[in-house]
Amino acid sequence: MTLRLRTLGKSNLNITEIGFGLWAAGGDQWGTTDDQQVFDAIDYALDRGMNFYDTADVYGAGHSEELLGHAMRGRRDKFIVATKIGWRDFDGERGQTAYTTLEKFIAGVESNLQRLGTDYIDLIQSHINFRDPTMEIFVEGFQRLQRDGKVKAYGLSTSDFEYIKAFNADGGCASLQIDYSILNRTAEQEIFPYCQAHNIGVIVRGGLAMGILAGKFTPETRFSEGDFRRRWHENPDEYEIFLNDLQIVEQLRSLATPERSLAHLALQFTLHHPAVTTVIPGIKDVAQAQKNIAAGLLPPLSAEELTLIDNLVAPGKGRKIWPA
Protein backbone atom coordinates (compact mmCIF):
# COMPACT_ATOMS: atom_id res chain seq x y z
CA MET A 1 0.00 0.00 0.00
CA THR A 2 1.06 3.58 -0.61
CA LEU A 3 0.00 6.89 0.88
CA ARG A 4 -3.08 8.35 -0.75
CA LEU A 5 -2.89 11.66 -2.64
CA ARG A 6 -5.20 14.67 -2.56
CA THR A 7 -5.08 17.84 -4.64
CA LEU A 8 -4.27 20.97 -2.64
CA GLY A 9 -7.02 23.43 -3.52
CA LYS A 10 -6.49 25.32 -6.75
CA SER A 11 -2.74 24.68 -6.72
CA ASN A 12 -2.84 21.47 -8.80
CA LEU A 13 -0.27 20.04 -6.37
CA ASN A 14 -1.06 16.39 -5.64
CA ILE A 15 0.25 15.77 -2.14
CA THR A 16 0.19 12.86 0.28
CA GLU A 17 -2.50 12.84 2.97
CA ILE A 18 0.24 12.54 5.59
CA GLY A 19 3.04 15.09 5.24
CA PHE A 20 6.32 15.75 7.02
CA GLY A 21 6.32 18.65 9.49
CA LEU A 22 9.82 20.11 9.97
CA TRP A 23 9.29 22.55 12.83
CA ALA A 24 10.84 20.29 15.47
CA ALA A 25 13.65 19.37 13.07
CA GLY A 26 14.97 22.92 13.37
CA GLY A 27 16.26 22.09 16.84
CA ASP A 28 14.54 24.78 18.89
CA GLN A 29 11.32 24.92 20.93
CA TRP A 30 10.77 21.14 20.85
CA GLY A 31 13.96 20.08 22.57
CA THR A 32 17.20 18.96 20.96
CA THR A 33 17.35 17.13 17.64
CA ASP A 34 19.97 15.25 15.66
CA ASP A 35 20.49 16.30 12.03
CA GLN A 36 21.41 12.80 10.86
CA GLN A 37 18.26 11.38 12.40
CA VAL A 38 16.24 13.97 10.50
CA PHE A 39 17.99 13.04 7.24
CA ASP A 40 17.32 9.37 7.91
CA ALA A 41 13.65 10.14 8.59
CA ILE A 42 13.34 12.08 5.33
CA ASP A 43 14.94 9.20 3.42
CA TYR A 44 12.60 6.73 5.08
CA ALA A 45 9.51 8.84 4.32
CA LEU A 46 10.55 9.53 0.75
CA ASP A 47 11.17 5.85 0.06
CA ARG A 48 7.60 5.14 1.20
CA GLY A 49 5.97 7.71 -1.02
CA MET A 50 5.61 10.74 1.26
CA ASN A 51 6.05 13.77 -0.99
CA PHE A 52 4.94 16.80 1.09
CA TYR A 53 7.46 18.58 3.36
CA ASP A 54 6.54 21.69 5.33
CA THR A 55 9.04 24.07 6.93
CA ALA A 56 9.54 27.80 7.62
CA ASP A 57 12.25 30.44 7.72
CA VAL A 58 12.10 30.70 11.54
CA TYR A 59 12.26 27.00 12.40
CA GLY A 60 15.65 26.75 14.04
CA ALA A 61 16.42 30.24 12.67
CA GLY A 62 16.50 28.76 9.16
CA HIS A 63 18.19 25.48 10.06
CA SER A 64 15.09 23.46 9.20
CA GLU A 65 15.06 24.86 5.65
CA GLU A 66 18.77 24.17 5.32
CA LEU A 67 18.28 20.56 6.41
CA LEU A 68 15.53 20.05 3.85
CA GLY A 69 17.66 21.68 1.18
CA HIS A 70 20.51 19.30 1.95
CA ALA A 71 18.17 16.32 1.81
CA MET A 72 16.82 17.39 -1.59
CA ARG A 73 20.18 17.57 -3.34
CA GLY A 74 20.09 15.56 -6.55
CA ARG A 75 16.42 14.63 -6.18
CA ARG A 76 14.48 17.91 -5.97
CA ASP A 77 11.74 16.53 -8.24
CA LYS A 78 10.69 14.01 -5.58
CA PHE A 79 9.71 16.73 -3.08
CA ILE A 80 6.74 19.06 -2.89
CA VAL A 81 8.10 21.81 -0.66
CA ALA A 82 6.07 24.20 1.44
CA THR A 83 7.72 26.93 3.46
CA LYS A 84 6.70 30.13 5.20
CA ILE A 85 7.79 33.73 5.64
CA GLY A 86 6.79 36.52 8.01
CA TRP A 87 7.98 36.05 11.60
CA ARG A 88 11.67 36.55 10.90
CA ASP A 89 12.68 39.97 12.31
CA PHE A 90 9.08 40.75 13.22
CA ASP A 91 8.62 44.25 14.69
CA GLY A 92 6.74 43.69 17.92
CA GLU A 93 6.32 47.38 18.74
CA ARG A 94 4.69 48.23 15.43
CA GLY A 95 3.01 44.88 15.07
CA GLN A 96 4.22 44.28 11.54
CA THR A 97 6.70 42.21 9.60
CA ALA A 98 10.12 43.36 8.42
CA TYR A 99 8.80 43.32 4.84
CA THR A 100 7.58 46.89 4.59
CA THR A 101 8.32 47.15 0.87
CA LEU A 102 7.88 44.78 -2.04
CA GLU A 103 11.64 44.76 -2.61
CA LYS A 104 12.32 43.66 0.97
CA PHE A 105 9.70 40.95 0.67
CA ILE A 106 11.12 39.56 -2.59
CA ALA A 107 14.56 39.54 -0.97
CA GLY A 108 13.09 37.64 1.96
CA VAL A 109 11.73 34.89 -0.26
CA GLU A 110 15.07 34.76 -2.08
CA SER A 111 16.56 33.91 1.32
CA ASN A 112 14.08 31.04 1.65
CA LEU A 113 15.17 29.79 -1.77
CA GLN A 114 18.84 30.06 -0.85
CA ARG A 115 18.46 28.08 2.38
CA LEU A 116 16.44 25.43 0.56
CA GLY A 117 19.00 25.26 -2.24
CA THR A 118 16.32 25.40 -4.93
CA ASP A 119 15.19 27.81 -7.63
CA TYR A 120 11.47 27.36 -6.94
CA ILE A 121 9.11 26.74 -4.03
CA ASP A 122 6.01 24.64 -4.59
CA LEU A 123 3.98 26.40 -1.88
CA ILE A 124 4.92 29.61 -0.07
CA GLN A 125 2.81 30.71 2.92
CA SER A 126 2.39 33.84 4.97
CA HIS A 127 3.36 32.83 8.49
CA ILE A 128 1.68 35.83 10.11
CA ASN A 129 -1.49 34.78 11.89
CA PHE A 130 -3.28 38.13 11.88
CA ARG A 131 -3.87 40.88 9.35
CA ASP A 132 -0.98 43.34 9.62
CA PRO A 133 -0.06 46.42 7.55
CA THR A 134 2.16 44.37 5.22
CA MET A 135 -0.53 41.90 4.09
CA GLU A 136 -0.98 43.56 0.70
CA ILE A 137 2.79 43.41 0.14
CA PHE A 138 2.75 39.67 0.84
CA VAL A 139 -0.05 39.02 -1.64
CA GLU A 140 1.52 41.19 -4.35
CA GLY A 141 4.91 39.60 -3.75
CA PHE A 142 3.54 36.08 -3.90
CA GLN A 143 1.76 36.82 -7.14
CA ARG A 144 4.86 38.35 -8.74
CA LEU A 145 6.97 35.37 -7.71
CA GLN A 146 4.29 33.07 -9.09
CA ARG A 147 4.43 34.84 -12.46
CA ASP A 148 8.22 34.60 -12.40
CA GLY A 149 8.08 30.83 -11.81
CA LYS A 150 9.79 30.99 -8.40
CA VAL A 151 6.58 30.04 -6.60
CA LYS A 152 3.97 27.58 -7.85
CA ALA A 153 1.24 28.47 -5.36
CA TYR A 154 0.74 30.56 -2.25
CA GLY A 155 -1.35 30.54 0.92
CA LEU A 156 -1.29 31.48 4.59
CA SER A 157 -1.12 30.00 8.09
CA THR A 158 -3.71 31.33 10.53
CA SER A 159 -6.96 30.66 12.39
CA ASP A 160 -8.23 34.23 11.92
CA PHE A 161 -11.28 34.03 9.65
CA GLU A 162 -11.36 37.74 8.81
CA TYR A 163 -7.69 37.63 7.83
CA ILE A 164 -8.30 34.60 5.60
CA LYS A 165 -11.06 36.40 3.73
CA ALA A 166 -8.97 39.56 3.32
CA PHE A 167 -5.94 37.61 2.12
CA ASN A 168 -8.09 35.80 -0.44
CA ALA A 169 -9.89 38.93 -1.64
CA ASP A 170 -8.87 38.35 -5.26
CA GLY A 171 -9.30 34.56 -5.08
CA GLY A 172 -5.63 33.65 -5.55
CA CYS A 173 -5.04 31.90 -2.21
CA ALA A 174 -4.46 28.17 -2.76
CA SER A 175 -4.01 26.90 0.79
CA LEU A 176 -4.62 27.46 4.47
CA GLN A 177 -2.52 25.93 7.23
CA ILE A 178 -4.48 25.73 10.46
CA ASP A 179 -4.61 24.05 13.85
CA TYR A 180 -7.22 21.29 13.81
CA SER A 181 -7.63 18.18 15.92
CA ILE A 182 -10.08 16.21 18.01
CA LEU A 183 -9.45 18.74 20.79
CA ASN A 184 -9.84 21.78 18.51
CA ARG A 185 -12.67 21.56 15.98
CA THR A 186 -13.40 25.30 15.84
CA ALA A 187 -12.39 25.53 12.16
CA GLU A 188 -15.44 23.45 11.24
CA GLN A 189 -17.75 26.37 12.05
CA GLU A 190 -16.91 28.93 9.36
CA ILE A 191 -13.38 28.43 8.06
CA PHE A 192 -13.66 24.97 6.52
CA PRO A 193 -16.92 25.78 4.66
CA TYR A 194 -15.27 28.95 3.32
CA CYS A 195 -12.24 26.99 2.13
CA GLN A 196 -14.45 24.48 0.38
CA ALA A 197 -16.44 27.22 -1.34
CA HIS A 198 -13.27 28.98 -2.55
CA ASN A 199 -11.20 25.90 -3.43
CA ILE A 200 -8.60 26.54 -0.73
CA GLY A 201 -6.79 23.38 0.34
CA VAL A 202 -6.37 22.84 4.08
CA ILE A 203 -3.06 21.79 5.61
CA VAL A 204 -3.61 20.62 9.19
CA ARG A 205 -1.02 21.38 11.83
CA GLY A 206 -1.49 20.32 15.42
CA GLY A 207 -3.28 17.10 14.52
CA LEU A 208 -1.75 15.46 17.59
CA ALA A 209 -2.37 18.57 19.73
CA MET A 210 1.33 19.00 20.52
CA GLY A 211 1.56 15.32 21.39
CA ILE A 212 -1.37 15.21 23.80
CA LEU A 213 -3.46 13.00 21.51
CA ALA A 214 -0.69 10.42 21.23
CA GLY A 215 -1.81 9.29 24.67
CA LYS A 216 1.64 9.14 26.26
CA PHE A 217 1.39 12.11 28.64
CA THR A 218 0.26 11.98 32.25
CA PRO A 219 -0.32 14.74 34.82
CA GLU A 220 3.26 14.08 36.00
CA THR A 221 4.85 14.44 32.55
CA ARG A 222 7.62 17.04 32.44
CA PHE A 223 9.25 18.46 29.33
CA SER A 224 12.94 19.04 28.73
CA GLU A 225 14.77 22.34 28.70
CA GLY A 226 14.14 24.16 25.43
CA ASP A 227 10.71 22.56 24.93
CA PHE A 228 8.07 25.28 24.93
CA ARG A 229 5.49 22.85 26.37
CA ARG A 230 7.17 23.33 29.77
CA ARG A 231 4.81 26.28 30.18
CA TRP A 232 1.89 23.85 30.64
CA HIS A 233 3.19 23.16 34.13
CA GLU A 234 4.52 26.63 34.88
CA ASN A 235 1.17 28.35 34.23
CA PRO A 236 -1.68 27.15 36.50
CA ASP A 237 -4.38 27.96 33.93
CA GLU A 238 -2.56 26.05 31.19
CA TYR A 239 -1.97 23.11 33.52
CA GLU A 240 -5.69 22.91 34.25
CA ILE A 241 -6.43 22.83 30.50
CA PHE A 242 -3.75 20.17 30.04
CA LEU A 243 -5.40 17.99 32.72
CA ASN A 244 -8.79 18.38 31.04
CA ASP A 245 -7.29 17.36 27.69
CA LEU A 246 -5.83 14.24 29.31
CA GLN A 247 -9.29 13.28 30.54
CA ILE A 248 -10.63 13.43 26.97
CA VAL A 249 -7.71 11.31 25.79
CA GLU A 250 -8.56 8.67 28.39
CA GLN A 251 -12.08 8.46 26.99
CA LEU A 252 -10.67 8.01 23.49
CA ARG A 253 -8.64 4.95 24.45
CA SER A 254 -11.59 2.64 23.79
CA LEU A 255 -11.24 3.45 20.07
CA ALA A 256 -7.62 2.34 19.90
CA THR A 257 -6.74 -1.17 18.70
CA PRO A 258 -3.52 -3.19 18.44
CA GLU A 259 -3.30 -2.07 14.80
CA ARG A 260 -4.30 1.57 15.38
CA SER A 261 -2.80 3.65 18.17
CA LEU A 262 -4.32 6.80 19.62
CA ALA A 263 -1.91 8.83 17.48
CA HIS A 264 -3.13 7.02 14.36
CA LEU A 265 -6.71 7.72 15.41
CA ALA A 266 -5.99 11.42 15.90
CA LEU A 267 -4.32 11.81 12.49
CA GLN A 268 -7.06 9.86 10.74
CA PHE A 269 -9.67 12.07 12.39
CA THR A 270 -8.22 15.19 10.77
CA LEU A 271 -8.48 13.57 7.34
CA HIS A 272 -12.17 12.74 7.66
CA HIS A 273 -13.26 16.32 6.94
CA PRO A 274 -13.68 16.94 3.19
CA ALA A 275 -11.99 20.37 3.44
CA VAL A 276 -8.71 18.82 4.60
CA THR A 277 -5.99 17.92 2.09
CA THR A 278 -3.16 16.80 4.37
CA VAL A 279 -1.98 16.66 7.98
CA ILE A 280 1.66 17.42 8.82
CA PRO A 281 2.70 15.93 12.18
CA GLY A 282 6.19 16.80 13.31
CA ILE A 283 8.90 14.24 12.59
CA LYS A 284 12.40 14.13 14.09
CA ASP A 285 13.44 10.52 13.51
CA VAL A 286 12.62 7.33 11.63
CA ALA A 287 10.42 5.95 14.41
CA GLN A 288 8.12 8.98 14.21
CA ALA A 289 8.08 8.83 10.41
CA GLN A 290 7.15 5.15 10.54
CA LYS A 291 4.26 5.73 12.96
CA ASN A 292 2.84 8.69 11.03
CA ILE A 293 3.03 6.94 7.68
CA ALA A 294 1.22 3.95 9.17
CA ALA A 295 -1.74 6.22 9.98
CA GLY A 296 -2.07 7.05 6.28
CA LEU A 297 -2.20 3.37 5.31
CA LEU A 298 -5.08 2.43 7.62
CA PRO A 299 -8.76 2.45 6.56
CA PRO A 300 -10.65 5.69 7.31
CA LEU A 301 -12.58 6.00 10.55
CA SER A 302 -16.08 4.55 10.51
CA ALA A 303 -19.26 6.55 10.98
CA GLU A 304 -19.70 4.90 14.38
CA GLU A 305 -16.20 5.90 15.49
CA LEU A 306 -16.73 9.48 14.33
CA THR A 307 -20.00 9.62 16.28
CA LEU A 308 -18.20 8.51 19.44
CA ILE A 309 -15.67 11.30 18.93
CA ASP A 310 -18.50 13.80 18.35
CA ASN A 311 -19.91 12.83 21.73
CA LEU A 312 -16.63 13.78 23.39
CA VAL A 313 -15.93 17.00 21.48
CA ALA A 314 -18.88 18.29 19.47
CA PRO A 315 -18.39 19.39 15.83
CA GLY A 316 -17.15 22.97 15.69
CA LYS A 317 -16.23 22.99 19.38
CA GLY A 318 -13.11 22.51 21.47
CA ARG A 319 -10.30 24.86 22.36
CA LYS A 320 -7.61 26.46 20.24
CA ILE A 321 -4.40 24.61 21.02
CA TRP A 322 -2.29 27.25 19.26
CA PRO A 323 -2.63 30.99 19.92
CA ALA A 324 -3.99 31.50 16.37
Known catalytic residues are 59
Q: Is the separation of the CB atoms in 156 and 172 below 8 Å?
A: no
Q: Is the separation of the CB atoms in 260 and 252 below 8 Å?
A: no
Burial class (CB in 10 A: 0-12, 13-18, 19+), 286: middle
d(CA 141, CA 125): 11
What torsion, rounded to 10 degrees, do the Cα atoms 178, 126, 241, 61 define?
130
Q: Is the separation of the CB atoms in 248 and 221 below 8 Å?
A: no
d(CA 321, CA 123): 24
Q: How many helices (DSSP H) and strands (DSSP E) are in the chain?
A: 11, 10
d(CA 119, CA 116): 9
Among 298, 219, 225, 231, residue whose Cα is nearest residue 266: 298
Among 271, 281, 266, residue whose Cα is nearest residue 313: 266
